[in-house]
Amino acid sequence: MKHSRVLIFVATLILLAACGRSADGAATVPGGTGNLPTPVVGITRAPKADAILQTYLDAYAAEDFAAMYALITEAGQANTTQEAFTDMYMNSLDSMSVKTIEYSILSVQVNANDAQAAYRLVYHTTLFGGIARDFNVTLASEGGDWRVQWDRSLILPEMAGGNTLTTNYAVHARGSIYDRNGNPIVNETYAVALALVPAEIVNEQEGSLMEILWRLTGLRPDTIRAIYQSYPADQYVPIGETTAADYRVYHGALAPLLGWRGTEYTARYYYDGGIASQTVGYLGYLETDDIHDYRRRGYSRGALVGRAGIEKWGEDILHGRESATLLLLGTDGKVIYPALATAPEQPASNITLTIDADLQKQAEAAMDGMQGAIVVLERDTGRVLALVSSPGYNPNFFVPDNLNTGGRTIILNDTNQPLYNRATQGAYPLGSVFKVITTAAALESGQFTRESTYDCQYDFTELVPLGGNILHDWTWEHCQNEMLTDPEETLSTCTQPSGMLTLPEGLMRSCNPWFWHIGLGLYNAGMGDNISDMARGFGLGSETGIQIEESAGNIPNPGDGQQATNIAVGQGDVLVSPLQVADFMAAVGNGGTLYRPQLVEKITAADGTVTFSFQPEVRGTLPVSEANLAIIQDALHEVVTNRRGTAWLRLNSLPYAVSGKTGTAESGIPGYPHAWFAGYTSENRPDKPDIAIVVFVYQKGEGSDYAAPVFRRIVEIYFSGHPQTPYWFEESIGVTETPTPTNP
């Protein structure tokens, strides 16, 4: 009988030794399918002890430290609080950069009051590969159940006696970001923080000081004055940064002047005060809510990481991996050698953007202080050549080694939200640019044709029988404004209604009643979702897939006739980003192909190997026939070239082939609508690929007055290298005529 019990116990140990557990807790058998074999009849497993150990290790694999703590002995809980228990495990796993934990139970031997077990842990880590250890543990019987007799050696045997883990990192240079022509946008370099102390500025020197700082920082004198005049006179006022090389050029001229400070530092430097600042992004220290995630990815506690834009998207590319050493610290805080593990450096890679830095900087200047966005895409590829969000910000203010980091507070507290990327994250009503989509839906529905006509008058009354209000065309609103300006004007001399228009002429003239009629007509014909579905087919209501943060916007389906008319003119709950509009306008211009907008031209490893190169990616095709698309293209060209077109006044003399659509969208503030212009070029030049451009000006005025002139300037810059035509509200290029321009 005694011999039989020994055989049964040995068989049990053999069975347990053959069984393992993966990180997901599934039992495994070497060479098997992952399921335990059918128990041999007559073999009795140790009751509960192995099950408790398995539960404990399952909890460990899931990093459920509360569940683990509940399974340790009362003595263990008396010696260690749950918080300390959790912190010890988290810090240890962070130090090892653990990704997953795998375990195998090797044996369990049950005695009268305790059980002895052996198991193996494999820590799969980011930095050090697999760290495997064998453990022996005692399970004590308490209150009729088994509990784990715990101490910190159950994390690693080397931690017995109170030792702890730490990791040393060798910091290396972060990868650089370049524009498409190889010009640095951000890299590690010697820089100088420039600042002013207003109380020390000498009046006679102020003009010279402002001029030199303008040359060094790119900030105009009036901008610099506005900055320092908002500070106390005796305070250090961050202005901007420059390269050490440029600083040396102007130091001789600065030296005799008073009221300025220049402090050299070596760190990550964003050129020209931040080219495409919201697109490129900025760096920041690890924060409480993400520190464990980054440490598991192999980062030190004090690491700087990308917080937005390409810096965030390309974090793994630009950071690479620092060399690291896993060390054991004794209770005295001293290192116990040898090191437990080491990891070699993986050098950072560099990112080259599709952005043209010169075009980007001139496009930023073209906003002339107005809030809004500009998007410039290669029409036939999806390359992003410029992405402007105004106002911008200086990412250098977020670099810790820069003495000007006090400027960060100004950025964070700015009610204009300069960190917010209006070009990709902004979601706004599109207004009349949406009529491109409504025209497509009308033509594709079969209810309307190129020859369909509508008498476009001041008023739209079709909603009145349904209990709605009379709606007014933009020509009526113009007339009202003209009469307010000059009360002696009569209706006969006001802006007149557009009259009888074909559908393409309705788009050219941007007749609101025409498109309200289409929206209501399709709704009444049981085709109420056609316009919304067409908008989704144009890529609205979903993200474009660009590498940085973006908004999906919103394309609703109409619930009644009123909503149908609102949607038809891009109002109501219709919300889009400027990027989405540029993307679909490029598709209209190129014949119907929606490309994914891309910001990355190539990625280059430290040894010069190109690991990624831009390739156009098709993400869809406009759901419009070739014939109907041609009707829309012709109408958009007429917007610019026909005297009755809404952009003719601003764009007819432009010496380049362009097409586009004006838009004026309600902003919620009467008299200050959002201004839009979306268009594309058709030059077909081998040296200059055609582009699509969207200009959005926030709460400023009509699209023809504010967005169309900016569109013109971008076209001029792109094809000739510099702006050629002043805005109607400028005395000369870059010099505003009046603080608050009025409509001509």
Residue 653: predicted pLDDT:
95
Within-domain flag for 554 = no
pTM to 2 decimal places: 0.89
The CATH code of the domain that includes 134 is 3.10.450.100
Residue 90 clears pLDDT 60, i.e. is over it: yes
Strand partners, 147: 140
Residue 131 clears pLDDT 80, i.e. is over it: yes
Same domain for 150 and 23: yes
Residue 25 clears pLDDT 80, i.e. is over it: no
Among candidate residues 274, 305, 333, the one where a domain is terminated: 274
What distance in Å separates the CA atoms of residue 716 and residue 699, rounded to the nearest whole number? 25
Per-residue confidence at 394, pLDDT binned at 50, 70, 90? very high
Residues in Cβ contact with 232 at an 8 Å cutoff, skipping those fewer than 6 apart: 198
Q: Which two tokens stand for residue 76?
A: 């263990």
Q: Are 367 and 392 in contact (CB under 8 A)?
A: no
What distance in Å separates the CA atoms of residue 270 and residue 241, rounded to the nearest whole number? 9
Residue 490: predicted pLDDT:
59
The CATH code of the domain that includes 209 is 3.90.1310.10
Please report, for residues 480, 483, 672, 738, the alpha-carbon distance to residue 486 in angstroms, rounded to integers and kept in the order given.
Answer: 10, 5, 20, 21
Q: Dihedral of CA 306/310/315/318: which sign? A: negative
Same domain for 186 and 128: no
Same domain for 143 and 23: yes
Per-residue confidence at 567, pLDDT binned at 50, 70, 90? very high
Can you say how many angstroms the Cα of residue 526 is from the centroid of all Cα atoms in its chain? 39
Per-residue confidence at 487, pLDDT binned at 50, 70, 90? low
Same domain for 305 and 259: no
Q: Name the DSSP letter for residue 502.
A: E
Within-domain flag for 744 = no
**Residue-averaged pLDDT of the chain:** 91
Pairing between β-strand 691-697 and β-strand 471-472 as defined by DSSP bridges: unpaired
Same domain for 193 and 117: no
Counting every residue written for the chain, the total comes to 744
Per-residue confidence at 4, pLDDT binned at 50, 70, 90? very low
Residue 409 clears pLDDT 80, i.e. is over it: yes
DSSP 536-582: HHTTTTS----SS-----B-PPPSSHHHHHHHHTT-TT-BB-HHHHH
Domain that holds residue 297: 280-352
Using CB atoms within 10 Å of the CB of residue 582, give its burial: 0 to 12 exposed, 13 to 18 middle, 19+ buried: buried
Question: Phi and psi of 703, rounded to 5°?
Answer: -60, -40
Same domain for 270 and 323: no
Long-range contacts of 637-640 (CB under 8 A, 24+ apart): 638/504, 638/505, 638/508, 639/507, 639/508, 639/510, 640/679
> Region 128-150: what's the mean pLDDT?
95
Among candidate residues 127, 162, 197, the one where a domain is terminated: 162
Q: Could you identify the residue written with the tokens 């410029």?
A: 386
Long-range contacts of 718-722 (CB under 8 A, 24+ apart): 718/359, 718/376, 718/385, 718/681, 718/688, 718/691, 719/656, 719/681, 719/683, 719/688, 722/362
Residue 493: predicted pLDDT:
67
Same domain for 116 and 195: no
Among candidate residues 308, 336, 352, the one where a domain is terminated: 352
Residue 284 clears pLDDT 80, i.e. is over it: yes
Within-domain flag for 647 = no
Q: What is the pLDDT of residues 421-433, one digit of tens each?
A: 999 999 999 999 9
Same domain for 289 and 268: no
Q: What is the pLDDT of residues 62-85, one digit of tens each?
A: 999 999 999 999 999 999 999 999
Residue 34 clears pLDDT 80, i.e. is over it: no
Same domain for 145 and 77: yes
Within-domain flag for 567 = no
Within-domain flag for 680 = no
Q: What is the pLDDT of residues 593-617, one digit of tens each?
A: 999 999 999 999 999 999 999 999 9
Within-domain flag for 365 = no
Residue 315 clears pLDDT 80, i.e. is over it: yes
Within-domain flag for 147 = yes
Q: What is the pLDDT of residues 151-181, one digit of tens each?
A: 999 999 999 999 999 999 998 899 999 999 9
Alpha helices in 121-243 (DSSP H): 203-217, 221-228
What distance in Å separates the CA atoms of residue 51 and residue 29, rounded to the nearest whole number? 17
Residue 6: predicted pLDDT:
38
What distance in Å separates the CA atoms of residue 41 and residue 35, rounded to the nearest whole number? 18
Give the closest residue to 183 by CA, choosing from 597, 579, 601.
Answer: 601
Same domain for 139 and 40: yes
What distance in Å separates the CA atoms of residue 604 and residue 351, rounded to the nearest whole number? 6
Same domain for 304 and 190: no
Q: What is the pLDDT of residues 228-244, one digit of tens each?
A: 998 999 999 999 999 99
Q: Are 630 and 493 in contact (CB under 8 A)?
A: no
Domain count, the chain: 3
Q: Which two tokens stand for residue 706?
A: 């504010």
Q: What is the pLDDT of residues 687-729, one digit of tens each?
A: 999 999 999 999 999 999 999 999 999 999 999 999 999 999 9
Residue 736: predicted pLDDT:
72
Residue 38: predicted pLDDT:
43
Please report, for residues 188, 510, 709, 725, 734, the alpha-carbon distance to residue 653 in angstroms, rounded to integers and kept in the order given.
Answer: 45, 21, 12, 10, 20
Q: What percent of the chain has pLDDT over 70?
A: 91
Within-domain flag for 541 = no
Residue 512: predicted pLDDT:
97
DSSP 675-689: EEEEEEE----SSS-
Same domain for 229 and 146: no
Q: What percent of the chain has pLDDT over 90?
A: 85
Residue 491: predicted pLDDT:
54
